[in-house]
């Protein structure tokens, strides 16, 4: 079947609705990379096997990420006439028990995380399906979230175009091609206030206008899916969970600027994302939603996937373009900007994965709808991968303007194991570390930049009292030093020098002059580097110097690591009042530095101990103490 007209699309939509809301049970398992890493494939198989054994008739679906990654594997059960419930931390054994209960006509409360209200005819409207099980929106993790970019993530089968269309997919493209001129589309995006979600926050409509006004043909569309920040997996998840939203956005972008070819540049380390986006491109092409004369509009557009080799700098737009052209992935000075002279020297729009997924939501719902979400100047939503020393981890989407506190304490539920949160790092290796005293700040592009960090693409790493901020700065510097392409001297040499100084400090060999030199080099690298990598690489150093100077001073002046992390600056000892003589520490110590007899006290020999903290991590009584 080809989709030639709007009514063809409507038929596909009805077909999709019957799959999304079937008369028989539908069980979805979150099977993005995060779910698979937690064992979702075995759960999926167990559900199917047990249902086969019991003759239980149901629809089993592999969806993308359901968001609450920490609770995975997650299983979403929709039972007509009974209700819809999300089950957490499933195992194959629990999955089999679940099927037995469902086959007996029961929605069990065991391992139920939340019930999900749904306004369809065959699901009870009263969503208090199971007593004692909260509604999903009552869970702190979900309560403040507003899903636009992740609107379909975890709800649809990413390989089913019918399910995408059933959730208003392709309504935007249809509206754009059949009712709007290219300039209308650009105006709609401009009015919406959408800013690029790749990190810089440049107004998307303005960029499209510059490109539209530029001379030169052909023109190109690029989706930047080179996400490489440590701890960040937002873009991978969107590709794995809702690839059609990106394809639809790019097709609309192509129509707006007059491009017939698009590229998705995705890092090779994302095999599942590559598989799913390729599948979606093939399917959309089969149905005529990519290719010639889309929806009989005379507009033609095709998309190709280009795999990046995993260099962080290739996420920078000019380096990315060079890489697609087959050259070295090195940035070049701008201007000219890609909107005027991009791929093969032609006008090119490059936007982030999340920007494209936002475009496909905006054109159908309208600029006014989008700009009413978020704050003035910072419209819409932003996706964070909330990770680190925080109680609730996962992928969260919030309106811009929520405070850091709302996210870390509200959604994240504060520190891990009740520990005090000390700082948050936003923006990946280009970002900065902000102290807890600034958690009242709203999350928007300007506030984070003023405070010395950046919004970035969506990495949010939470740190607690056991995190050494000097060590954190060194960790990120190690990353940027290794990823510097080496083209400009300040980035190549500067990151190297900063890393050397930080290493001296964490090894207890630093001097007060080192701190001053570090600051001086950081400012020099920031001011003189060619591209964003070098210009932002000093941010972790400058922000930790700004807010955690006392930790640097302690390392240098007192040869002490207040967080108890830097191995050269700590001593380990066993508290005789807490030691129960189990001997686990002695057994596990790789240096054989612990002596003692079972049921008696154990001792650490400081001459042999390398401060690896194995004993500290495994002692069941918390008897091993770090002298900071
Ligand atoms: C070192 C470096 C790495 C970058 N990596 C990415 C990336 O992985 N994804 C991305 O969308 N933008 C990345 N950017 C930003 C891009 O250069 C570009 O601004 C962005 O793709 C534009 O899309 P947007 O307007 O939708 O944000 C990076 C920039 C730098 C300097």
DSSP for 377-436 reads TEESEEEEEEEESBSS-EEEEEETT-BHHIIIIIIS-SBGGGPPEEEEEESGGGSEEEEG
Element containing residue 209 per DSSP (H, E): helix 204-213
- What values do phi and psi take at 572, rounded to 5? -110, 140
Which residue, by CA, sits nearest to atom 12 of ligand 1? 198
| Alpha-helix runs per DSSP H in 5-160 | 6-20, 33-37, 40-54, 92-103, 140-143
Which atom number of ligand 1 is nearest to the Cα of residue 354?
Answer: 26
Question: Which residue matches tokens 């001997």?
Answer: 583
Q: Quick check: CB of 475 below 6 Å from ligand 1?
A: no
Long-range contacts of 332-335 (CB under 8 A, 24+ apart): 333/530
Q: Quick check: CB of 383 below 6 Å from ligand 1?
A: no
Are 362 and 207 in contact by the 8 Å Cβ rule? The answer is: no
Two tokens at 395?
């992928």
Which atom number of ligand 1 is nearest to the Cα of residue 533?
Answer: 1
Q: What is the pLDDT of residue 121?
A: 61
Distance between CA atoms of 127 and 203, rounded to whole angstroms? Answer: 40
Distance between CA atoms of 30 and 617, rounded to whole angstroms? Answer: 32
Q: What is the CA(315)–ligand 1 centre distance, in A?
A: 5
Residue 350: exposed, middle, or buried by beta-carbon count in 10 A (0-12, 13-18, 19+)? buried
pLDDT, one tens digit per residue, over 457-487 is 889 999 999 999 999 999 999 999 999 999 9
Residue 12 pLDDT more than 90? yes
Distance between CA atoms of 319 and 436, rounded to whole angstroms? Answer: 36
Residue 584 pLDDT more than 80? yes
Q: What is the pLDDT of residue 628?
A: 79
Two tokens at 148?
């636009």
Residue 129 pLDDT more than 80? no
What are the DSSP calls for 540-577, one per residue?
HHHHHHHH-HHHHHHHHHS---TTS--GGG-EEEE-TT
Cα Rg of the chain (Å, integer): 26
Residue 553 pLDDT more than 60? yes
- Name residue 604's beta-bridge partners: 594
Q: What is the pLDDT of residue 574?
A: 95
Q: Quick check: CB of 444 below 6 Å from ligand 1?
A: no
pLDDT, one tens digit per residue, over 353-371 is 999 999 999 999 999 999 9
Which of the listed residues 208, 264, 315, 348 should we mutate to test ligand 1's pocket, taking the one with most ligand atoms within 8 A of CB? Answer: 315
Two tokens at 371?
């700009």
Angle at CA of residue 72, ends 69 and 76, nearest 5°: 105
Q: What is the pLDDT of residue 125?
A: 58
330 by DSSP, 3-state: which? coil
Q: Quick check: CB of 308 below 6 Å from ligand 1?
A: no
Which residue, by CA, sits nearest to atom 6 of ligand 1? 315
What are the DSSP calls for 473-499, one per residue?
HHHHHHHHHHH--S-SHHHHHHHHHHH
Give me the count of residues in the chain: 628
Q: What is the mean pLDDT of the chain?
A: 95
Element containing residue 333 per DSSP (H, E): none
Q: What is the pLDDT of residue 132?
A: 83
Q: Quick check: CB of 483 below 6 Å from ligand 1?
A: no
Which of the listed residues 311, 316, 459 should we mutate to test ligand 1's pocket, taking the one with most ligand atoms within 8 A of CB? Answer: 316
Which atom number of ligand 1 is nearest to the Cα of residue 195?
Answer: 25
Which atom number of ligand 1 is nearest to the Cα of residue 226?
Answer: 8
Are 165 and 289 in contact by the 8 Å Cβ rule? The answer is: no
Which residue, by CA, sits nearest to atom 30 of ligand 1? 316
Please give the model's pTM, rounded to 2 decimal places.
0.94
Q: How many CA atoms lie within 13 A of 503 on its CB side?
A: 9
Rounded mean pLDDT, 580-589: 94
Q: What is the CA(225)–ligand 1 centre distance, in A?
A: 9
Sign of CA dihedral 11, 17, 22, 28: positive
Residue 599 pLDDT more than 90? no
- Residue 232's nearest CA partner among 445, 404, 382, 422 is 382
Are 204 and 196 in contact by the 8 Å Cβ rule? The answer is: yes
Q: Quick check: CB of 459 below 6 Å from ligand 1?
A: no
Strands (E), 177-243: 220-225
The answer to whether the peptide bond before residue 139 is cis (omega within 30 degrees of 0) is no
Are 248 and 173 in contact by the 8 Å Cβ rule? The answer is: yes
How many C-beta atoms surround the C-beta of residue 105 within 10 A?
9
Distance between CA atoms of 167 and 18, rounded to whole angstroms? Answer: 12
- Residue 343's nearest CA partner among 323, 328, 329 is 323
Strands 459-464 and 594-596: unpaired
Are 331 and 319 in contact by the 8 Å Cβ rule? The answer is: yes
- Name residue 434's beta-bridge partners: 424
Which of the listed residues 194, 234, 314, 352 should we mutate to test ligand 1's pocket, taking the one with most ligand atoms within 8 A of CB? Answer: 352
pLDDT, one tens digit per residue, over 133-146 is 999 999 999 999 99
Which residue, by CA, sits nearest to atom 2 of ligand 1? 316
Distance between CA atoms of 579 and 128, rounded to whole angstroms? Answer: 48
Residue 212 pLDDT more than 60? yes
Q: What is the pLDDT of residue 128?
A: 58
Question: Which residue matches tokens 């100047």?
Answer: 377
Which of the listed residues 149, 224, 226 should we mutate to test ligand 1's pocket, taking the one with most ligand atoms within 8 A of CB? Answer: 224
Q: How many CA atoms lie within 13 A of 553 on its CB side?
A: 5
Q: Quick check: CB of 277 below 6 Å from ligand 1?
A: no
Which residue, by CA, sits nearest to atom 25 of ligand 1? 196
Q: What is the CA(228)–ligand 1 centre distance, in A?
A: 10
Q: What is the CA(469)–ligand 1 centre distance, in A?
A: 26
Q: What is the CA(313)–ligand 1 centre distance, in A?
A: 9
Which residue, by CA, sits nearest to atom 18 of ligand 1? 317
Are 33 and 233 in contact by the 8 Å Cβ rule? The answer is: yes
Q: What is the CA(351)–ligand 1 centre distance, in A?
A: 8
Which atom number of ligand 1 is nearest to the Cα of residue 207?
Answer: 25
Which atom number of ligand 1 is nearest to the Cα of residue 532?
Answer: 31
Q: What is the pLDDT of residue 126?
A: 53
Are 274 and 267 in contact by the 8 Å Cβ rule? The answer is: no
How far, CA to CA in Å, does 271 sit from each of 281, 320, 356?
15, 19, 20
Q: What is the CA(84)–ligand 1 centre distance, in A?
A: 39
Rounded mean pLDDT, 531-558: 96
Which residue, by CA, sits nearest to atom 10 of ligand 1? 198
Rounded mean pLDDT, 548-566: 95
Q: What is the pLDDT of residue 310?
A: 84
Q: What is the CA(310)–ligand 1 centre distance, in A?
A: 14
pLDDT, one tens digit per residue, over 237-283 is 999 999 999 999 999 999 999 999 999 999 999 999 999 999 999 99
Rounded mean pLDDT, 281-303: 97
Distance between CA atoms of 260 and 377, rounded to whole angstroms? Answer: 31
Residue 334: exposed, middle, or buried by beta-carbon count in 10 A (0-12, 13-18, 19+)? middle
Q: Quick check: CB of 316 below 6 Å from ligand 1?
A: yes
How far, CA to CA in Å, does 114 sit from each of 41, 133, 142, 396?
22, 6, 10, 17
Two tokens at 44?
């999926």
């Amino acid at each position: 079947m080809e989709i030639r007209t709007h009514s063809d699309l409507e038929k596909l939509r009805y077909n999709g609705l019957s799959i999304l809301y079937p008369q028989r049970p539908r069980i979805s398992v979150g099977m993005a990379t995060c779910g698979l890493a937690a064992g979702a494939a075995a759960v999926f198989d167990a559900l199917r096997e047990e249902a086969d054994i019991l003759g239980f008739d149901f629809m089993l679906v592999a969806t993308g990420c359901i968001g609450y990654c920490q609770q995975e594997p997650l299983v979403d059960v929709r039972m007509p006439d009974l209700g819809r419930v999300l089950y957490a931390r499933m195992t194959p054994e629990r999955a089999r028990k679940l099927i037995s209960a469902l086959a007996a006509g029961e929605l069990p409360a065991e391992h139920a995380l939340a019930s999900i209200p749904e306004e369809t005819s065959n699901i009870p409207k009263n969503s208090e399906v199971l007593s004692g099980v909260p509604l999903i929106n009552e869970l702190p993790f979900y309560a403040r979230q507003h899903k636009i970019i992740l609107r379909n993530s975890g709800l649809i089968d990413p390989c089913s175009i019918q399910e995408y269309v059933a959730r208003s997919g392709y309504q935007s493209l249809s509206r754009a091609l059949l009712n709007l001129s290219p300039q209308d589309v650009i105006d709609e995006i401009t009015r919406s206030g959408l800013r690029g979600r790749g990190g810089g926050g440049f107004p998307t409509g303005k960029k499209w206008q510059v490109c539209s006004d530029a001379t030169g043909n052909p023109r190109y569309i690029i989706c930047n899916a080179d996400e490489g920040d440590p701890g960040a997996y937002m873009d991978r998840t969107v590709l794995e969970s809702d690839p059609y939203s990106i394809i639809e956005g790019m097709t609309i972008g192509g129509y707006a600027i007059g491009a017939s070819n698009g590229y998705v540049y995705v890092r090779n380390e994302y095999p599942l994302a590559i598989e799913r986006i390729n599948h979606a491109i093939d399917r959309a092409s089969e149905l005529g939603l990519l290719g010639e004369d889309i929806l009989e509009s005379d507009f033609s557009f095709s998309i190709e996937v280009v795999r990046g080799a995993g260099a962080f700098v290739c996420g920078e737009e000019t380096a990315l373009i060079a890489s697609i052209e087959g050259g070295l992935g090195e940035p070049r000075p701008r201007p000219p900007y890609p909107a005027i002279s991009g791929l093969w020297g032609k006008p090119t729009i490059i936007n982030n994965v999340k920007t494209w997924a936002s475009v496909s939501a905006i054109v159908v719902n309208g600029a006014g709808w989008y700009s009413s979400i978020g704050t003035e100047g910072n419209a819409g939503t932003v996706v964070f991968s909330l990770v680190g020393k925080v109680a609730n981890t996962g992928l969260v989407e919030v309106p811009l303007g929520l405070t850091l506190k709302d996210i870390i304490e509200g959604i994240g539920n504060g520190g891990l194991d009740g520990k005090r949160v000390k700082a948050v790092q936003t923006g990946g290796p280009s970002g900065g570390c902000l102290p807890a005293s600034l958690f009242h700040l709203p999350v928007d592009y300007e506030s984070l930049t003023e405070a010395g960090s950046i919004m970035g693409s969506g990495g949010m790493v939470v740190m607690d009292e056991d995190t050494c901020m000097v060590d954190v700065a060194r960790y990120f510097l190690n990353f940027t030093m290794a990823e510097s392409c080496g083209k400009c001297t300040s980035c190549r040499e500067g990151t190297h020098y900063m890393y050397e100084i930080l290493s001296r400090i964490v090894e207890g060999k630093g001097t007060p002059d080192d701190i001053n030199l570090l600051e001086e080099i950081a400012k020099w690298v920031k001011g003189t580097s060619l591209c964003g990598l070098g210009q932002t690489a000093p941010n972790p150093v400058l922000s930790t110097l700004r807010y955690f100077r006392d930790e640097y001073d302690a390392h240098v002046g007192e040869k002490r690591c207040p967080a108890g992390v830097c191995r050269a600056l700590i001593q380990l000892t066993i508290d005789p009042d807490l030691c129960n003589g189990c001997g686990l520490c002695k057994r596990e110590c790789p240096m054989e530095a612990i002596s003692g007899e079972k049921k008696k006290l154990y001792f650490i020999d400081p001459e042999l101990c390398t401060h690896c903290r194995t004993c500290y991590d495994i002692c069941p009584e918390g008897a091993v103490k770090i002298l900071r």
